[in-house]
Amino acid sequence: MKLDEVPQDPDSAYGGHSKLLYAVDDQGRYQGAPSAGWEPESYSTQLAVAELQAQEAEAHAAWQRGEASPLECLMYRYRMDLPALAQIAGLWQWRVRRHFRPEIYRRLSDSLLARYAEAFGLTVDELRRYQKELP
């Protein structure tokens, strides 16, 4: 990659920052060059983020219908999936999946809720409030 080929595409997923790439000048000498973004890369990032948002919206709808606990929706909101949440909370995946059921989630002990709260960076009270938002 030559210095003048270092991409400077706007609307990147860098949030206004630039990142460093390595490129060669006319004499073929390497140097670091800031890049504001590369369109194929931003497309890939945005696609992955959109996928998580779609999963979150779906889980949110299920929660609002009373078919799921808020846990699944929060999991996607905090950019996790089932294996990640299970590992962070230190639980088996089947237990986490069981807690997606509203009637089971409502009876969870404080110590279990505390594990989820820590995973999301919330307090237990904040986590409980999500349950009360139900219609």
Partner 1 sequence: MSAFEHRQSAHCESGVMASLLSQAGLPMSEPMAFGLASGLAFAYLPIVKLGGMPLIAYRMPPRHLIKTLSKRLGVRLTSRTFSNPEQGRQALDEALDSGRLVGLQSSVFWLPYFPPEMRFHFNAHNLLAYGREGDDYLLSDPVFEAPVRCTTADLQKARFAKGALAAKGLMYYLDDVSPEQDWAQLIRQSVLSTTRILDGLPLPWIGIRGIRHLASCVERLDPAQAKYNRLYLTHIVRMQEEIGTGGAGFRFMYASFLQEAGEKIGDATLREASTRMTAVGDDWRQFASACVRASRSKGGAPDFRPIAEMLRGIAGQERVLMKELGAWAKHKGRRSAV
* Interacting residue ranges for partner 1, rule: CB under 8 A: 1, 13-24, 28-30, 32, 34-35, 38, 40-41, 43-45, 47-49, 51-52, 78-81, 83-84, 87-90, 118-119, 121
Longest dimension (CA), the chain: 69
Cβ atoms of residues 41 and 12 within 8 Å: yes
Query: Would you give the distance in Å from CA 84 to the centre of its chain?
Result: 10
Shortest Cβ distance from residue 128 to partner 1 (Å)? 21
Pick the closer one to partner 1 by CB: 121 or 135: 121
Q: What letter does residue 5 receive in the DSSP assignment? A: G
Shortest Cβ distance from residue 31 to partner 1 (Å)? 8
Shortest Cβ distance from residue 111 to partner 1 (Å)? 16
Pick the closer one to partner 1 by CB: 89 or 102: 89
Pick the closer one to partner 1 by CB: 75 or 102: 75
Pick the closer one to partner 1 by CB: 111 or 132: 111
Distance CA 41, CA 43 (A): 5
* Neighbour-count burial of 127, counting CB atoms closer than 10 A to its CB (0-12 exposed, 13-18 middle, 19+ buried): buried
